[in-house]
Structures are given as C-alpha cells and as structure tokens.
Amino acid sequence: YVILPFEKDFFKKYNFDVDYVGNPVLDAIRSFKPTEFFLEQQNMKQKKPLVALLPGSRTRELQKIVPVMAAVAKARPAFHFVVAAIHNLSPELYKPLTGLENVNFIYDSTYDLLTHATAAIVTSGTATLETALFKVPQVVVYKAGYLEYLIATQVVKVKFISLVNLIAGKEVVKELIQDNASPERIGNELTKLIEPGNYRESIINAYEQLHATLDIGSASDNTAELIVKYQNES
C-alpha cells in the first residue's frame, strides 16, 4: 500500500504491484476543526498580508533557513510573518526571527495558521503538501550543507523536491534550492504570490487538481477494505 499516487509507477518499474489507498494528510485536514477567534487569541488581527513561515522540524534545516527567513521578514515590513514553531525545539534555533516587529510565533498550531495565511515560505517536506491542501500559495525553500546536498542529489534522482510538484508531475510552486534560496529571490516570489492576479490564481487552481488526484476517500478505510479483500481472495 502507498500513500502517494506517483509511488505506484515507481514500484511498477521493479515489478511490484501496489495500491494507492489515499493520503493520511488529507484525512487529517478533512477532520481538522479551526480554532475560533484564533487570530484574536494570538494578538495577530492585522490588515497586513499574513505570511506563514514553516521552517521545518530538523535542527540542521532550521539552522540554515531561519536566518534567511529573518532577512526576508526584515526586507518586507508591509507583510506580517508568523512562525509555525515547535515547543520541543531549542528557542536558539528561532533566535534570528525573535524580536522583529513584523514577526509573531505560534506553537503547535500549524493548521490554524494555514487557515488564515495569505502565502507561505515552506521548507521542503510534508508541510508543502499540507500548505497546498489549505490552498495557500507558497514558495518552497531548501538549504543543506554542500556535502550533504551533493550526496543527496547523487542518491535521489528526482526532478522536484516538494511533494506538491512531485504529485502534480510539473512545477506548481517555485522551488528555491541552495544558493537560489536567497532572501531577495524568496522575497520577490513571495510578493508575486501575495498580489491578486493570474499567478496566484493559477497556483490555487493547481491545488484543486492536486486535491482531486489525492482524494479517493479515507486512507485507513481503504487500507482496511483492501486487507479484507485480499484475505478473502487468498
């Protein structure tokens, strides 16, 4: 059983017949109930566009990307940035973003944040898919050590790094990797995402198609049904 549609073709190349059962992220979002008056509770009720910052959960990722996110926030005072932070990570990892006038922190409430976000800067990972399923235009960023990145690109041969683009089989969201993940380039892309118009709408429309591709019902229910079916056939 697989939880991403493109995995079927991958396993087929090696003569494995697998079933796509649906995606648990979609199930989680479907069952999510937004917190009432979330912005008011967090003192974040503002007229500025709200930009979600999702720097990830791995220490090395945060060490690389948080300073870049801070530089973007400093250069864009017209936007309100909110960091989706994690309680069990060291506060030192978020320090470059601490104390900036247009930056707030929320902890362990990423889905509530995405419910209200105008756009997002997202470190590659499951968060890119979550952001897409909340229909928030995003720019995907990734930075790693030189050796780490070199090894990764030799081992994993894929055209894209974000789940959004991998599932769509094309570039839906901009991916800025390594040196391309500069504050200037990220900031420019962010401005394009926030401005009303064709570019923003095209991403949201592509998200709708992504949702339709993933949505074949509950992943757990489908898995259970297939297990029973195969047991009855054996």
Task: Specify if 164 maps to a domain.
Answer: yes
Task: Specify if 208 maps to a domain.
Answer: no
As a whole-number percent, the residues of the chain with pLDDT over 90 amount to 69
Residue 163 has a pLDDT of: 94
Q: What are phi and psi of 73, to 5 degrees?
A: -60, -40
pLDDT (tens digit per residue) in 212-226: 999 988 888 888 988
d(CA 186, CA 68): 9
Task: Specify if 123 maps to a domain.
Answer: yes
Split into its structural domains, the chain has a count of 1
pLDDT(128) > 90: yes
Task: Specify if 22 maps to a domain.
Answer: no
Task: Specify if 1 maps to a domain.
Answer: no
Confidence grade of residue 151 (pLDDT, cut at 50, 70, 90): low
pTM: 0.90
Task: Specify if 20 maps to a domain.
Answer: no
Confidence grade of residue 159 (pLDDT, cut at 50, 70, 90): confident
Assess contact for 39 and 45: CB atoms under 8 A: yes
Residue 128 belongs to what domain range?
Answer: 34-198
Neighbours of 70 (CB within 10 A): 22
Assess contact for 21 and 223: CB atoms under 8 A: yes
**Token pair 């017209």 in the structure block, residue:** 78
* CB-count exposure of residue 230 (10 Å: 0-12, 13-18, 19+): exposed
Structure tokens at 24: 């648990």
d(CA 112, CA 126): 16
CATH of the domain at 71: 3.40.50.2000
Closest listed residue to residue 24, CA positions, set 187, 214, 192, 153: 214
DSSP 8-state code for residue 51: E
pLDDT (tens digit per residue) in 187-218: 999 999 999 999 999 999 999 999 999 998 88
Task: Specify if 19 maps to a domain.
Answer: no
Task: Specify if 98 maps to a domain.
Answer: yes
Question: Which residues face 123 on adjacent strands?
Answer: 141
d(CA 205, CA 214): 15
pLDDT(150) > 80: no
Q: Determine how β-strand 119-123 pairs with β-strand 174-177.
A: unpaired
CA dihedral 45, 50, 56, 59 (to 10 degrees): -70
Assess contact for 20 and 5: CB atoms under 8 A: yes
